[in-house]
Amino acid sequence: MKNKNVILSNIYSVLLPVIIALFIGGIIIAAIGENPFLTYQVMIQKSLFSAKGILKTLHFAAPLILTGLAIAITFKANIFNMGVEGAAVLGAFFTGVVGFSLKGVNPVLHVTLCLLTGMLVGIIFTLIPAVLKAYFKVNEMVVTLMLNYVVAEVVKFLAQGIFKDPASGYVSTYAIAESAMFKKLFNSDLTLFFFIALLVFGILYVIFKKSKLGFEITAIGKNPEFAEAAGMNVAKKIVVIMLISGAVSGLAGAGFLMSEKYRFTLDFSGSPGLGWDGMLIALLGNHSPIGVFVASVFYAALKTGSEYIGLFTNVPKDIVGVIQGILILCLSVKFVSRNTGLMGRWTQWLGKIRSKRENAMSVDGREGEQG
Partner 1 sequence: MKRNRFMAAVSAAVTVIMLMSLLFTGCSSKPKDPGVALITSAAGANDKGYNESAIKGLEKAKQEFGIDYKVVESTDIPGSLTQLAEAGYKVIFSLEYNFDALIKGVGGNKPIAQQFPDTTFVIFNDNPNVNQDGTVINKNVISVLFDVHEASFMAGALSTLVNENAKTLFSAQDYNFTQGDAGRKIGFIGGTKSNGITVFSYGFAEGINYEAEKMNVKYTYYSDYNAGFTDSAAGSTKANTYYQDGANIVYAVAGSVGDGVDSKAKEVKKLSIEVDANKDNNQPGYVLTSVLKNTEVPVYEIIKHYKNNTLDGVKGKALNYNLASGATGITDLSVIESKIAPEGKAKWNEIKNELDSISKKIASGEIKVTNAQAGEAFDKTKLKNLSMPND
Q: Which is nearer to partner 1, 221 or 310 (CB)?
A: 310
Q: Which is nearer to partner 1, 7 or 230 (CB)?
A: 7
3 state SS of 239 = helix
> Could you tell me if 259 and 71 are in contact, meaning their C-beta atoms sit under 8 angstroms apart?
no
Judged by CB under 8 A, the stretch of 61-69, 165-173, 205-213, 331-339 that binds partner 1 is 165-173
Residue among 274, 236, 317 nearest 67 (CA): 274
Among 32, 346, 358, 363, binds partner 1 (CB under 8 A): 358
**Measured between alpha carbons, how far apart are the two ends of the chain, in Å?**
15
Distance between CA atoms of residues 291 and 262, nearest Å? 29
Number of alpha carbons in the 13 Å side-chain half-sphere of residue 29: 27
Residues 9-38 that bind partner 1 (CB under 8 A): 11-12, 15-16, 19, 22, 37-38
Residues 40-99 that bind partner 1 (CB under 8 A): 40-41, 44-45, 49, 56
Distance between CA atoms of residues 305 and 309, nearest Å? 6
Residue among 56, 176, 174, 202 nearest 117 (CA): 176
Distance of CA 334 to the CA centre of its chain: 18
Q: How many CB atoms lie within 10 A of CB 227?
A: 20
Judged by CB under 8 A, the stretch of 62-70, 97-105, 234-242, 302-310 that binds partner 1 is 302-310
In the shown chain, the binding pattern of residues 253 to 292 toward partner 1, with x for contact by CB under 8 A and - for none, equals ------x--xx-xxx--xx---------------------
Judged by CB under 8 A, the stretch of 198-206, 213-221, 330-338, 361-369 that binds partner 1 is 361-369
Which positions lie near partner 1, rule CB under 8 A? 5, 8, 11-12, 15-16, 19, 22, 37-38, 40-41, 44-45, 49, 56, 160, 166-172, 175, 181-184, 189, 191, 259, 262-263, 265-267, 270-271, 304, 307-308, 310-312, 316-317, 358, 361-362, 365
